[in-house]
Structure 1
Amino acid sequence: MTLPAPLAEIVSDFAELADSDKVTLLLEFSRELPDLPESLKPEAMEPVPECQSPIFLSVDASDASAVRLFFSAPPEAPTTRGFASILHEGLDGATADEIAAVPNDFFHDLGLSSVISPLRLNGMAGMLTRIKRQVSEQTAS
């Protein structure tokens, strides 16, 4: 599996934990999601309807050597916020090619399927799909 180093480290951290500790780590990630810059408003971002909670994302791939990711997720949705934070920490600053190479199902390697419903995991898949699409569209020109 080809993952940028920060995302590979996160996957490794989750893989080493018992199920109950995986939930705790996911909740820790939810508290670490950076705030949006003041210039970026959620209504100008792409919604992720696969998520059970309202989440929005934006990608800036104007510099393909360091793609920037932005997420808006409500604090009362810690699972979704945790997924967004994992993607932010693991992919923000990666190259467009590194992001394109991330397997669409990498999140299964986090080992969360025994503690998080498949419907919620689909939300993470939806976020990654949109990130990859936006990167591809922005770097195609």
Structure 2
Amino acid sequence: MAGMTDTHLPDALAEFRDDFLDTPEADRLLLLLEFADELPDVPAEIAAHPEMYERVAECQSPVYIHVTVTDGVVAMHATAPPESPTTRGFASILAQGITGLTPEEVLAIPDDYPHTIGLTKLVSALRIGGMTGMLMRTKRQVRERLGMLPPQR
């Protein structure tokens, strides 16, 4: 399944994509629900400061993200309600796939990544748009943390 877009796709995200593409379409939502259950907890020092979060307006459900860059390593934190498992699954894929990368690796992730994981027929375009929104906002926050952009508030 490797294509030209793989050149900038970090290993974890490529692996997640391949897991979905290797799973029969009928079972892919189950895999997404597994990711939803694995959304990493937000560290207490961030959870205690909801003002640090950015609401992902592209998502119908209340999804919030916060990105840190420490010593050249990105960490993406996300919250999504348990009653929105699809969105929570997308947040989990990105949080797990992005955390631990360098800022350059994050910024090089193809913007169309959410369209490549084999879920476009199974979930609404709105939900794929929500995942794209999470990715774009994560990239923007990385640029802000690096001083490439002024903070948006």
What is the TM-score of this pair, normalised by structure 2? 0.87
Gaps of 5+ in 2: 149-153
User: Is residue 97 of structure 2 the alignment partner of residue 75 of structure 1?
Assistant: no
* CA displacement at 1:122 relative to structure 2: 0.4
**Pick aligned residue for 1:12 from 12, 18, 40:** 18
User: Aligned residue for 1:115?
Assistant: 122
Distance 1:46 1:20 in 2: 33
1:57 aligns with 2:65: yes
How far apart, in 2, do the equivalents of 1:33 and 1:43 lie? 20
Q: Distance in 2 between matches of 1:6 and 1:112?
A: 18
**2:61 and 2:84 in contact (8 A); partners too:** yes
Deviation at 1:63, TM superposition (A): 2.5
Normalising by structure 1, report the TM-score: 0.95
Residue aligning to 2:151: none
Does structure 1 retain, via aligned residues, the 8 Å contact 2:40–2:96?
A: no
The aligned residue for residue 140 of structure 1 is: 147
User: Is 1:89 paired with 2:93?
Assistant: no
Whose relative contact order is higher, 1 or 2, with alpha carbons under 8 Å and at least 6 apart?
1
What is the aligned-residue RMSD (CA, Å)?
Answer: 1.1
Q: Distance in 2 between matches of 1:35 and 1:118?
A: 27
CA contact (8 A) 1:62 1:138 kept: no
Q: CA deviation at 1:114?
A: 0.6
Give 5+ residue unaligned stretches, structure 1. none
Task: Give CA deviations for 1:68-116 in whole Å, capped at 9, x if unaligned.
Answer: 1111111111011000000011111101000000011111110100100
Q: Partners in 2 of 1:11 and 1:124 — Cα distance?
A: 14
